[in-house]
Chain A
Amino acid sequence: MRTYTEAPVRPGNIIEADTLNREMAAFSSQLNGKLDAPTIPLEAITAAHLVEPSDTTSGITTGVVGASSAFYRTETRTSTITYDATDGTIVSGWNEVEVDFLLQFTAKAGMVLGSLVLCGQKMATDAASVEVGADAVWELRLLSNSQVIAQSGYIPVGTYTIDLPFCFPCGNESITIKAQIRQLNYIEPSLGWTHPELSVKDRMIWCRNAYR
């Protein structure tokens, strides 16, 4: 008679229960849920088996969170903001683009990769087409939780859309990414920073948080 057990069968067709339980445990434990990687065939898991992506919203940030990555973006803003040193809407040094223009999300440990898209306009001429500051430049940077993660370098006068990419490692943490601008004089940065006018037009920030 064939037997499944590898242990010796005693006279009288008898085996030891300890042997039986030990040998059966390998099979019964799998049926009771103790599965591991070798139990699951390669490429057996499809998107349908994964948790459905969930939407998130925080301020002007919307996002979608999936199994191995999450995507976030701010709303697209198309209003024009003009900064004027005479009324204090811009000061020497770095200034917030907008107080509430923030990309906010809760990151999982991994990497954050994204880009700021922002159109800036710095006038070289006044309304009468008279040159008023062709040496002026402006600059853009991004901060994540107060740490600088990207900086554009000087941008000449005119109208120019900056696509400023960034990438940085992150932990399981709340992240706030914000944009800052400054304007200065290319020839002598300490002079003439107040003139001519600087404006910001269409803008958005997006990113992908990749994790295990």
Chain B
Amino acid sequence: MSAVEITPVSPGGTTSASATNAAYSALATASGAIAADNLARQSITRAHLEDDTFLAFSGNSINVSTTGTYTSTSYTLVSHGTDMDVPVGIAIEDGQVVRCHANVFVTEGTQDGADTDAALFKFKFYWDLGAGYVAMDNITYQYTYAVRDETGLGTISTYKNRRLGFSLLYIHSGASVTPVSIQVRIAMGSAINSVTLKQTGLSVLVFNP
């Protein structure tokens, strides 16, 4: 780093007022070469940062009181009352992170006894990057409780009044993508299953670490 030169004056010596004025004027109009190493780590506080530096986007979608019954074995948007769908519409750059949290209240699910222990129903996060909705990740969130009741396990299994929560962390790598939205979709484990959902919530956060 080069130093800004000031009119050389020996300590204990004297100089003229006109020289002083000239030196001050030079400083007043000087443009310093401010480089990265001028910005010492301890000098910067959070107050110096723009609000959107870390949290690029936040969204939430909640269905409150309406119920919906799902029976399809294909992944279907959870859409009773309000769609379980959060619009994104911003570019996600290399190194940025998407966090998704979903919670679902299940009022009742039924399935045939022969299928008691297998997944009654399952969820996936979907997104549309411009070419239709596809799964964000290959993880599947699967659920069944074999509930003991008077009919016994061998006949009917019921699943009542449980809240489920599940999450996903996605780290983007490569060229930027712009999701239209992120959704929660549900599918049955078997064609004879059905599930009724009530309150649901979905939050999507995009971070720039």
Contacts and interface: CB of A to CB of B under 8 A. Distances in A.
Contacts, number: 233
Contacts of B148: 134
A117 B139 contact: yes
A71 interface: yes
A165 B164 CA distance: 13
Nearest to B15: A17
B9 interface: yes
26 contacts: A3-B21, A4-B24, A15-B16, A18-B11, A24-B23, A27-B24, A28-B4, A28-B6, A31-B27, A36-B43, A42-B47, A53-B94, A53-B95, A63-B171, A67-B209, A78-B139, A119-B140, A121-B117, A124-B117, A130-B154, A159-B144, A160-B145, A161-B142, A163-B167, A202-B142, A208-B99
Contacts of A201: 140, 142
A190 B134 CA distance: 46
B208 to A, nearest CB: 5
Contacts of B50: 43, 45-47
B17 A1 contact: yes
A158 B116 contact: yes
B164 to A, nearest CB: 8
A36 B42 CA distance: 8
B14 A14 contact: yes
A42 B53 CA distance: 13
A62 interface: yes
Interface in A153-175: 156-161, 163
Contacts of A16: 13-14
Interface residues of B, number: 78
B48 A45 contact: yes
A157 B171 contact: no
Contact of B27 (A24, A37, A55, A207): A24
Interface string B60-86: 000000000000000000000000000
A202 B139 contact: yes
Contacts of B28: 27
B163 to A, nearest CB: 11
B119 A53 contact: no
A59 B50 CA distance: 35
Contacts of A54: 95
B171 A71 contact: yes
Interface string A1-36: 111110001100111111011001001101111011
Contact of B209 (A41, A71, A159, A207): A71
A87 B52 CA distance: 55
A117 B209 CA distance: 22
Contacts of B152: 131
B173 interface: yes
Nearest to B114: A129
A161 B103 CA distance: 12
Contacts of B94: 53
Given A21-B11, A69-B207, A47 B146 contact: no
A31 B32 contact: yes
A125 B113 CA distance: 10
A99 interface: no
Contacts of A159: 117-120, 142-144
Given A117-B166, A158-B116, A206-B169, A68 B54 contact: yes
